[in-house]
Amino acid sequence: MMKIAVIPGDGIGKEVMNASMLILEKLDLPFEYVWLEAGDEAEKKYGKALPDETLEEIKRCKALLFGAAGESAADVIVKLRQELETYANLRPVKSFKGVKTIHNNVDMIIVRENTECLYKGLEFGVSEGVTVGIRVISREASERIIRFAFELAKRDKRRKVTALHKANVMKKTCGLFRDVFREIAKEYEKYGIESEEYYVDAGCMYMVMKPNIFDVIVTTNMFGDIISDLAAGLVGGLGLMPSANIGEEYGIFEPVHGAAFDIAGKGIANPTAMILSSAMMLRYLGFLDEAKRIEKAVEKVIAEGKTTPDLGGKLKTIDMTKEILKNVQ
């Protein structure tokens, strides 16, 4: 039996996690689910948003399903990424039939470096009214994430990998990332995988105007954070966006919509992102057929308009989940 850590967290995290587990538990999977606490409520209860006991138990599990955290998100998910060394953040971005958007042909995956850049938090004051943040970009981390992106393209038979950087301004940090990208891209030409690069500001413009030119995008930590939410807006919002944080030993799977306290407890949270995150976990663990069943079921239900109010439907969270479950089964 594989041990899977489950952290519902705060706000709608509990609701969407229950929805996801309703589906997972109906599948014949060799999993033992370990329910744990982390987030705002855990901080009030234990004095720490990520209790030591929770972290130690996660390290004994094969993967982690995470719902959402409120104000303590940085103390939970960022720390988990660091502790579990999940260096690659994956955000698939795909159009859904039945969701009205400007573009209907979006199908890309964003691969974001997850361990360094400005998000290392190296900030300090140098004088009154002046602060400094240090951006860290290393060859080792750049090689690791760029090779990850090309290997993903190779495995999934995707045609192109695009690097987004700002090497025209940040000549040392982004310059290093760009140079490593060019080196590794040459290794994958024999597999028919194209490579291209854009300055990140131009990349954002093209993403809005003609997103179909992108296939796999690889970029640094902060740029990846920003463009991931931009891309979510192209296909219907964060309620549809799953994500994964992948390392050598562990995988963390979470929706990216946050705790959404304004709708928590109303039973109208869209469970799509959490359910698709669980499907990403199944792919990571090798259960491809089950993952495909979940993904196709979600697509069918959304196409039929059997959705929560954020997508124009009238269903409650549990009712949309039951519709998905019918199609999974």
By annotation, the residues acting in catalysis are: 119, 166, 201, 225, 229
CA distances from 252 to 59, 124, 127, 130, 137 (A): 11, 30, 39, 37, 23
Q: How far apart are CA 38 and CA 56, in angstroms?
A: 12
Q: Which two tokens stand for residue 4?
A: 């899977």
- Position 277: which residue type? S
Q: How far apart are CA 86 and CA 184, in angstroms?
A: 21
CA distances from 283 to 69, 135, 158, 289, 293 (A): 24, 33, 17, 9, 11
